[in-house]
Each structure stands twice: as structure tokens, then as C-alpha cells.
Structure 1
Amino acid sequence: MLLHYLIDENPGGHGLKQLTLKFTPYGDYEKPMYEWIDQYRKENGILKDQFNWGDIPFDVMKTYAAMDAMATFLLYEKFIKIKQNPKLLWVYENILLPGTRFLIDTQDNGVPFDRKRLYVGQDAMQTDIDDAIAALYENDKIRRFEELNGKPFNPNSTMQLRSLLFDYLGLTPTGKKTGTGADSTDAEVLKELSLQSDVPKRILDIRQKSKIKNTYLDKIIPQLDRDSRLRTGFNLHGTTSGRLSSSGKLNMQQLPRDNPTVKGCIKAAPGHKIVAMDLTTAEVYVAAILAEDKALMDVFRSGGNFHSTIAHKVFRLPCEVEQVAELYPDKRQAAKAVTFGIMYGAGPAKISEQVTKDSGKYFSKQEAQEVITDYFRAFHKLKAWIDDNQKFIEQNGFIYSYFGRKRRLPNVASTDAAIRSHSVRSGLNFLVQSAASDINLLGAIDMGEYIKAKGMKSRIFALVHDSILAEVPEDEVDHYCEKLLHFVQLDRGLSIPGAPVGCDFEIDEDYSMGKFVKMYGESA
């Protein structure tokens, strides 16, 4: 699986059965066993989730098991050719193999949940949903819409919602379309339409709270183990960038951000704390080093507020860095948008849209272009690095990350300009996102080994984006934080002398860092 991932990093298709079908003449070898299972269940009236694999006769299972082993060996012989590529081999031996061992421990540790909080959140969320729906139906606009249509309004009906927003209320569509070409009514669209009317805001609120209850709280409770931990999956082979993905009982990468309910249910046992370590501006940090842009590296060395320092340098502001946020908030916001946007290949249109959304004030494309020009004037080596790598991707259709991961981008040869452009942007973003992710992962792997070697009771239970989450005994918190900081900031060739990559630590009883208690009270 991992060897194939190095050969083809695109998600999906890394499983043993899929690879056997694709690369050997023995595909579908599992079919006889599953046919036996189907017949056995049918004859004995056994539901799928009640079937016991121990009921399979040895004569049936032995062939399947033998083919499993043979297929694994044949695929290994085919994929081990990566040894001929020292970059991919380094990733395999130093990231993927130790990463697998680390994630086995991480998954076994399990995510610690508080059952009482889950029930509190479940009840409170249902009450909020009921109240929000009742308030929606009392709205005069909704009542008149129902009278005109002669039937109750169903906020879950996309057709009714589209008719309400764009036909009856006359709101201006955002331009975002569905796959069929109709105007979209997804969360992003509703959020933007909320600036025109309170109706989409109310509907968005209902949707978000319903998702928190139905997708998370309702599903987490029955899946908890006896120790109140939920053991879900983390995958090294789930993304093209090398970032971890999460699957199984709970996708830890997609926990709600704006509402603390679910995060607040992730709670440490008595005498323990939840410690969350998060990398700060890591992708920009990596870009500064890869581009060898001294001016950008000096921003990190300065130690001041990052975005204020950037704005101060880009616009040559006549004030102290500490005064930028107060005196020039718009310029700080513009510089921030460009800083993050250029890593994704954002142009004037995207920067204009982002600054307008973040600041609440219209920011034209011309203004955005001027900011981009000023930005690259200040950080000209970063601009040269971006241009050089874009040309390399266009000419070669692939790019290697700092640690040796390969991103294949065949669509740079597409006749569609939009597809070509997207591929180039994806390759550029891969360079920084992959390296930043590997810095985090390597630090977590080293910390996991240290915990075992020293017999510590701390448990790392998840890696979420650029965060490392752990349940730590109170008497180990200081030592854990000190050692994790050391391992994440270890110089692996991607470090600015005197300014290691930034790490923020948050410590509390739960993953919401106390916001759950503020929302639901001390008794929760």
C-alpha cells in the first residue's frame, strides 16, 4: 500500500484487492470466499453486521489467506523498484514506515471523550435546532412564501430553498453553480447571501447545528469503547500532499471549528490535560527557506507580530510594527491575504475577494494587484522561486518536495488552460504544504518514540492538520511540551538560524480549551 502510494500518490486504489486486480493475473481471488459467506448468511438468516468470520471453514479460508500472502509478495516485488529512487526510498524508510508504527500507537490510544458532555451537547443542540426552526417558520417572509406555494417550506429541500432565495426574496446569486448548472445553496453560498438577508443566515444556522448533532454527537456515542475512547483511523496515503487524512468511526480532520460542542466533548481524564501543539505560519516559513529569501526570513527572526511585520515591510509604513494593527488594519489584512494567497497561486481577483470578505470593505482587483506588486518587490527572491518552480512543473509535469515526496502533475499538458493552471498551482502548493506537514509528522514520530523509551504516561491521540493532540498527566505537562517543542523544531535542514518554526501550545481540560464550559456551564 505505502510502496504504491510513492509510485502513485493520488487518493484511492492503494488497497491489496485493488492492486492485485490491477497489477497481477489473480484479481478477484476473494470472490469464492465472499460467495460462500453470502450463501451461508442466506441459508441461516444472518444479517451482514451479525456475521462471525470465525464461522468460515478452514478449507475456504486457507485459499483466501494464501492468496493474500502471495498477492502481497508479488506486489512487493513489483513496487520495491522505488529503491532505485533515493528520494522516494528516503521517504519510505524515514517517514512512511516509522509513521505507520506511530499511527498504530496513536489509533490504539484512542480519542478521549466525556459521555456526560456528549449527552449534554446532544440535548442542547436539539433544543437549539427546534428553537431555530420555530423562529424560521414565524418569519413573515417564510409565511408569505408558504402561502404563495400552498405548502409548508422545507429548508432541506434544495429546490424550495433556491426558489425562496432567488425567486421570492430576489437575492443575487453568488455565481457558484452545482454540477447540473443550477445556482448553488451550499454553506459557502448561504454565508455570503447572509449579507443580503437574515433568512439564509437562519437556514445556515439550522444546517450547521443539525450536522453537529446528526453527523457527530449522535454517531460518536454508540461507537465509544468501554474506556470512553473512540478509536478511529489516520492514513499516511490519503492525500497527494502527504498530509494525514482520517477515516473510520470519526474524521478528526473535519471537526466543526466555529462551534465548540464536539471539541469540548474531547476531554482529558481526571488528573490529565489536553495539550494541543499547533504550527504557526509553517507554510510561509518553509517557502522563505526554500526561496532563500533573506528579507522574508528576517520577518521570522524579528519575533514581532508576523502579519504586522509583513505589512510594515511591504507598504513601508511610517509607524512602529506594534502600531500597524491599530493604525493600518486594512493594509495588514491585505498583506495577510497575499501571504497566504500566493502559496495557492492566488491572483488579483482572489485577493480582492478575500480581503473584501475578511475586512467587510470593498477591495478592488486593481488594489489587489498593487499589493501583490508591492509584496514581491519586498520579497523578490520568493517571486523568483515561485516563477522557477512554475516553469519546472510546466516543463516536466512533476515536482519533488524537500523531503523527497513526488507530486505527479500530468494535467500540465492539458489543452484546457484552466486545468493546466490548476495543476501548476497544485504543484506549487505541494512544495510548501508537504514540507510543513512532514516537519510536524517527523516531530510527532520522534515524540512518540521518546514517550515509549522514557515510560511516560502521555498519549498522543491525533494529528489534525498542523496540530498534535495529546492527553498528558498533569505532572508530565511541562516535560511533554518541552520535548515536543524540541522534536518539532529540530533542524532537519528546513530551519532559519535563530528562528525555529513557530509552535503554539494550548493546554486545558478539553480540546475546546474551555469554550464548552463557557457555553454550557460548569456542571457540564
Structure 2
Amino acid sequence: SFKPKVADIAERFDFPLVRLLFDIERRGVKIDTNRLHEMSKELGSEYQTLQQQMYDMVGYEFNIGSPAQLGEVLFTKLQLPTTGIKRGKTGYSTDQKTLDKLKGQHPVIDLIERTRELAKLKNTYVDALPELADEHGRLHTTFNQDVAATGRLSSTAPNLQNIPIRSELGRTIRTAFVAEPGNVLVSADYSQFELRLAAVLADDKDLIEDFNSGVDIHTKTASETYGIPLEEVTKDQRRAAKVINFGVLYGMSPHGLSAATGMSFPEAKKFIDQYFELRAPIRKFIDATLKQAEDEGFVETYFGRRRPTPDVKSSNFMVRESAKRAAANMPIQGTEADLMKLAMLKVEKGLGDLGEQILQIHDSILVECPKANAEQVSELLQTTMESIAKELPVKLKVDVSVGDNWGAL
């Protein structure tokens, strides 16, 4: 029945983690407030320069933060094309999707994107984080176990799982997260964790074999999907395979693949069709998961954590499609979350006095330890995390890196 399973999940994963999360929150993570104050000045100065360049380009001053004024600049003053651009009560949309469509049409587009990024990083992180640090310069987040329906941890006040990593500018913020003098940070990161778990849950024997033999999974996928030898796969083809390998777990559509890679819509559709011929077990698994969501009203992880799925029967198309994507991904992301909790508990047990866990970021663990212990801690993290679920037929791979700051990892 349902209740004993809930109790079993709570007792195996969630309850034991409470004490550890308390300790992680109490320890906090150190930030270099001086570095952040310097960055604030640098970002502010660049923002002013770019803003003036935009004014000179357009011929007058305007408020970049006002969608109405920005729309006026783009579509009335500069007369950029409005084909396919959404229109609301206040005029044409100026959101990121719109800017993506207008890329290359006018140099002002790149400046708008850059100033938006500068403002976002400055306001959300660079200026805000020092205000939240304690008297020792450490930030104390709150980890929540009961917010994400997948069982994943979330982080609030401040959200330290969301510190940017995708852009070079975003990554520089991570350099302000530092170890205490005499200490280092050690990061242990599961490689292609969700894709390995998808292979297990879908019982995709070819994919499991590829992972276990250590081939480059994205190059192999590109080779098989395009029907070309491994050594002929180009960077762009590998990138398309990487996007779809991860995107398919979230229900990526041809539109999504096209936007992410620059492929035409027909190319993207053909690529996805060929991908699912190649990865038939994953297609079958996703279909079976959606059927369970509709027939039984829930989906579950490898270990039995359940997520109710009432919205897969919604009469509202958008709600229904969103619920289907969430249902298809839950067994994979939820299994990842369960295993991360087990990994954190085992790592804590093994660490003892060698070092301290200070953060968990979905598929990675961050430890602070004395420099002298770095090698021992690195080895312990890798061994413990890779052997967390020996019953799985796929090998888990953990990448470990050591540095004085988070940005160096």
C-alpha cells in the first residue's frame, strides 16, 4: 500500500538528512565581501558605458528596464521586423525569446542582452550576498526537503543552488565563494548522472554498455543518429547530440532543439525521430511512465518515492503538457535526488574530522577542508559517491576538483 512506502522513503532518505542539513546550514560558506564590492564597481561602470553606447546608437535616452520604451526603440525607432513577435496591451514583447529572434538584426540587441545580464548579476548576487553574510563573512542558506515534488533539495534565503555557471560573467561570481585561510574547497560532481539513471530505468542495455565501457556518449549518439563514423563527428553534431541526450529527459520538442542548436525545424524533427529509433527503450520508458501517470495517478522513482499526477488529465492543454513533461522526468530526477541524499549521508560518515560538507548543488557536493587533507578528501568523495548504489547495472562516475575558490573548480 501507499503509506508504508512513504514511511520507508522518509526513514531511509529524508529523516536521517535533517541533522546533516542543519549542520550544513550552520557551517555556512565563506564569501570574499571585498571581492564582491570590487565586482559591483566593475559591473556598474560597464553598465554605464554600455548604456551610453545604446543612447548614442538610438539617438536619445530611454529606460532599458521599461518594456514599453524598449519596444518603442526596437520596433518604431529602429524599425526591426515584428514577424513572429508577440504583441500585448503595451506593445510588442521585449523578452529574451524576442531578443533571440532579433539577434544579428542590429548591434543594439547584443548591448541590451549584456546590460540585462550585468543588472541581474549585480542586483541579485553581487550587491545582495554581502548583506546576507554573518560577522565571519559566511552565508547560511536554508535547505528544503519538501518543496520540489521530485524529492530534490531546494535552497532559499539565499538560493545557493542557483549561483550562475553558464556565462563567463556569471562564473566570476563563484570566485567570491572562498575557503578559509589554510583550507581548500573540494567539489565532487556526478558526471551525466540523469542520463545514466535514465539508461537504468529504461533498461537501455546499449546505453548502459556505452557508459560502462567509457565511450564519449554524446559523440557516440551523434555518430549513430547521423549514421557516420565516430571520428567524423563534428563539434556541432556532438553539441546537438548532447542537447538532445539531456533535453529528451525533459520532453524536448523539435522547436526546443531548433532553438538550442540553430537547426531548422525539419532538421530538428528528423534528428529527434532518428534519436528515438536509436533509443527505443527510452521512448518506451517515457510512454510507460505517462501511461502510469494517467492510469494510476502517480509516477515513482527507482526507490518508490511517488509524485501524484492529477494534471495529466487536465482539460487545459498547457497545464496537461507541462504535467506530462514533469511526470516523464520525475522517475529520473527523483531517483537522482534519492541517491544524492544517500551520498551526502555516506560522505558525512566517512569525512569525520577530515573536512565539512558546506553545500549540495543537485548532482554535486562541496566540501571545505584543510589543505593537508585535500587528497584524502578527494579520494573519499570519489570512492564513496561512485559506489553509492552497487545494485545499479551502470557505473557511476564522479569528477573531483580542488581549489581556493568555487570559481576555480
Q: When the two structures are superposed, what TM-score results if normalisation uses the length of structure 2?
A: 0.91
Superposition deviation, residue 409 in structure 1: 1.4
- What's the offset of the Cα at 1:134? 2.3
For 2:102 and 2:368, how far apart are their aligned partners in 1?
Answer: 41
1:287 counterpart letter in structure 2: A
- Aligned match of 2:195 in 253, 276, 284? 284
Alpha carbons 2:68, 2:90 under 8 Å: kept: no
Structure 2 residue 222 is matched with structure 1 residue 311: yes
Is 1:197 aligned with 2:106?
yes
1:473 aligns with 2:370: yes
Do structure 1's residue 352 and structure 2's residue 254 form an aligned pair?
no
Structure 1 counterpart of 2:242: 336
Instruction: Note if 1:223 corresponds to 2:132.
Output: yes
Deviation readout 1:321-367 (Å, 9 max, x if unpaired): 3x244xx33432332232122211223332233221xxxxxx23332
Ranges in structure 2 where 5+ consecutive residues have no aligned partner:
none
Structure 1: runs of 5 or more not aligned = 1-82, 147-151, 357-362, 515-524
1:419 equivalent to 2:319? Answer: yes
1:90 aligned partner: 8
CA distance in 2, matches of 1:134, 1:213: 18
Would you say the 8 A contact 1:299–1:310 is kept in 2? no
Query: How far is the alpha carbon of 1:420 from its aligned partner?
Result: 2.1
Given that residues 394 and 424 in structure 1 are in contact (C-alpha distance below 8 angstroms), is that contact kept between their aligned partners in structure 2? Answer: no
Cα deviation, residue 163, structure 1: 1.3
1:513 aligns with 2:405: no
Give the whole-Å Cα distance in 2 for the aligned partners of 1:398 and 1:208: 39
Q: Which has the higher contact order (CA 8 A, sep 6+)?
A: 2
Q: Is this contact kept in 1: 2:31–2:178, CA < 8 A? A: yes
Cα contact 1:174–1:192 (8 A) shared by 2: no
Of 68, 77, 80, which residue of structure 2 is paired with 1:171?
80
Q: Which residue does 1:122 correspond to in 2? A: 40
* Pair 1:473–1:282, CA change in 2 (3 A): same
Aligned equivalents of 1:267, 1:422: Cα separation in 2: 39
Q: Does 1:253 align with 2:151?
A: no
Q: Does structure 2 conserve the Cα–Cα contact (< 8 Å) formed by 1:344 and 1:428?
A: yes
Which has the higher Rg, Structure 1 or Structure 2? 1
2:151 aligned residue = 242
Distance 1:502 1:172 in 2: 48
Residues 342, 388 of structure 2: 8 Å contact kept: no
C-alpha spacing 1:406/1:217, structure 2 compared with 1 (3 Å): same
1:106 aligns with 2:24: yes
Q: What is the one-letter code of the residue matched to 1:504?
A: D
Q: What code does the residue aligned with 1:350 have?
A: G
Residues 383-394 of structure 1 aligned to structure 2 (within 5 Å): 383-394=283-294
RMSD: 2.3
Question: Could you tell me which of 442, 457, 463 is aligned with 2:360?
Answer: 463
- Answering whether residue 266 of structure 2 is matched by residue 366 of structure 1, we say yes
| TM-score, normalised by the number of residues in structure 1 | 0.72
Aligned residue for 2:301?
Answer: 401
Question: What is the total number of aligned residue pairs between the two structures?
Answer: 406
The residue type equivalent to 2:311 in the other structure is N
Conserved? CA contact 1:439–1:488, under 8 Å: no
Instruction: Measure, in 2, the Cα distance between the counterparts of 1:126 and 1:265.
Output: 17
Deviations along 1:361-394, one digit per CA (max 9) or x if unpaired, are xx23332232223222222222221221122212
Give 1:174 deviation, angstroms: 7.9
Query: Compared with structure 1, are the counterparts of its residues 355 and 160 closer, same or farther at alpha carbon in structure 2 (3 Å cutoff)?
Result: same
